[in-house]
Structure 1
Amino acid sequence: MPATIDKNLQKHLDQLQKELREPAELFAKNGIHNTIVFFGSARIKPQDSTQSEMDRLHRDFKGVMMKDQEEWDELDRASHAHYMSRFYEAAESLSGKLAHWSRTHFSTRDQHFITTGGGPGIMEAANKGASQAGEPTIGINIRIPTEQHPNPYITPGLSLHFETFPMRKFWLMYFARALVIFPGGIGTLDEFFEIYTLMKTRKATRYIPIVLFGSEYWKELINFETLVRFNTLDRSSLDFFRYCDEVDEAFSFITDEIMRDRERSGS
């Protein structure tokens, strides 16, 4: 008697197959072979939004002699949000510069498309920068209950929607020629470490330059030196990524590495 696959498992297998085949057809149809992928928090807002909130709170605080803890906490959260908003502006600027560089340095076939997870925050900023530079930009979204909804700067026809994380990660990675990772939460960490592991174990088919943008955030969040000190990570493994704090620095590193890789591969 032939073995039969559980119906629920078959349903998942069918979904995975669909999410492997349909994006492949879309990318082929649009001539997409290279991407520069931006990761980062969906919660980071543009500076004009956070500045408006700070202005409101400062107005509310004027003339109030006594303030309760809840009011101080609200001001503290708003201050942190305003501080983090600089990364929205940086992602927008860097994305725009990279999109313009791609257009001026490559043929249509070899263009490097700015790609994100398709949601708000840093993802929105990167799609916005490329869109305002007049270039197509991709969003690879995932259906989850909160935070993740397509931003308005994704090029029509290049917004993908996934039900499964494995296939979404596959397509975020497959055409990637560089990764720019801005401050983010668990999702950003998951994406970074998965790609970092592929690079470290040589399971990635080619070298992919990785930028960790915002050294203060990343060095406080992950102390790689501790891993090296306790011999759970080789120091050479730190060469797989680079900290950057300025848009021009990240731009130069990414573009130099992409061009160097093309020279090595003879493309």
Structure 2
Amino acid sequence: MSLPPELVARQRAIRESPSYRLASEDTELLAQDELRPVRLQLELLKPERILREHGVHSTVVVFGSARISDTEAASARLMQVEQRQADPGADAPELRLELAQARQRLRQAGHYEEARRFAQRISERFQQRGRRDFVVVTGGGPGIMEAANRGAFEAGARSVGLNITLPHEQQPNPYVSPELTFRFHYFAVRKMHFLMHARGLVAFPGGYGTLDELFEVLTLIQTGKMAPIPVVLVGRSFWRRAVDFDHLLEEGYISPTDFDLFDRVDTAEEIIEVLERFHADRMPDAP
């Protein structure tokens, strides 16, 4: 028996009503403030399940500035600015500033290449079929993050990118393994995933984000909230000026033993030496 037209329309309205959607498919419901605990749990569970499926056993985290480019790009930029010097109509003060910045970026490109080289070497050594150790993890964006993911990519290895939604959308760099690239809304959950399998933290020069992530790890280790891992600050001259640890000690804000929480180095080889020294006999076998 067919229904009259008005009831057919009513039945259609029932099916199309937001209340009739499965709760798991109701994006408007999931976006409500009361559902924040559910969203937090989903962001916690999803990456962990996928990492397990892909055999990621342990990781090494690489932090650093998103503003650093590779040597080729930095050299090309410097050449462009230098060529503009021949233009008599160029704004001299503005050009001098651009020239100084371009030279600075070329100097900083060394950090990009060192991060790339470290990631390539550690990935070649420890990634093997079925079980992947010391898998490179970054924030998935440009700069030092791109360099580390690129090094792993060039080694034929997988790497992880933990991207974050920002007001100005941060695109994932093209070198992250697509199946291991995640996007987060919550900084706190993202930070948890950085450390859940970390066997080491490598911090290259950077700004607020790098410093925030670095000091959170140092604080967690100092207070016993996480097991110690090697924390490696790359770029001795940068870190001596960026953070005056000696002054903190002189003022009594940290203890002499707090210097044992980190190492300062300059090269990819030194980073690996720190990791090997810390883990000693616990380093997994290379393929």
Corresponding residue number in structure 1 for 2:242: 221
Partner residue of 1:136 out of 145, 158, 166: 158
What is the Cα deviation at residue 244 of structure 1? 0.5
1:48 pairs with 2:69: no
1:151 maps to a residue whose letter is: N
What is the Cα deviation at residue 162 of structure 1? 0.4
1:27 pairs with 2:51: yes
Q: Which structure 2 residues correspond to residues 68-217 of structure 1 after superposition, within 5 A?
A: 68-103=92-127, 108-109=130-131, 111-146=133-168, 148-204=170-226, 206-217=227-238
Task: String of CA shifts for 1:21-50, please: whole Å, max 9, x gaps.
Answer: 111211221122200110001110011011
Question: Matches of 1:66 and 1:55 in 2, distance apart?
Answer: 15
1:66–1:24 Cα change, 3 Å: closer
Which structure has the greater CA radius of gyration? Answer: 2
Question: Matches of 2:37 and 2:89 in 1, distance apart?
Answer: 62
What is the Cα deviation at residue 91 of structure 1? 0.4
1:18 pairs with 2:47: no
What is the Cα deviation at residue 144 of structure 1? 0.8
What is the Cα deviation at residue 10 of structure 1? 2.0
What is the Cα deviation at residue 70 of structure 1? 1.2
1:21 maps to a residue whose letter is: L
Question: Matches of 1:63 and 1:145 in 2, distance apart?
Answer: 37
- State whether residues 38 and 126 of structure 1, in contact with CA within 8 Å, keep that contact through their aligned partners in structure 2: yes
Partner residue of 2:280 out of 254, 259, 266: 259
The SS at the match of 1:183 is coil
Corresponding residue number in structure 1 for 2:253: 232
Corresponding residue number in structure 2 for 1:58: 82
The SS at the match of 2:178 is coil
Consecutive unaligned residues in structure 1, runs of 5 or more? 1-6
- State whether residues 119 and 141 of structure 1, in contact with CA within 8 Å, keep that contact through their aligned partners in structure 2: yes
Question: Matches of 1:252 and 1:19 in 2, distance apart?
Answer: 34
Consecutive unaligned residues in structure 2, runs of 5 or more? 1-30
**How many residue pairs were aligned?**
254
The SS at the match of 2:131 is coil
Question: Matches of 2:262 and 2:272 in 1, distance apart?
Answer: 14
1:66–1:165 Cα change, 3 Å: closer
TM-score, with length taken from structure 1: 0.89
Q: Aligned Cα RMSD in Å?
A: 2.0
1:183–1:133 Cα change, 3 Å: same
Task: String of CA shifts for 1:206-249, please: whole Å, max 9, x gaps.
Answer: 22101100111111011010110011100110111100112211
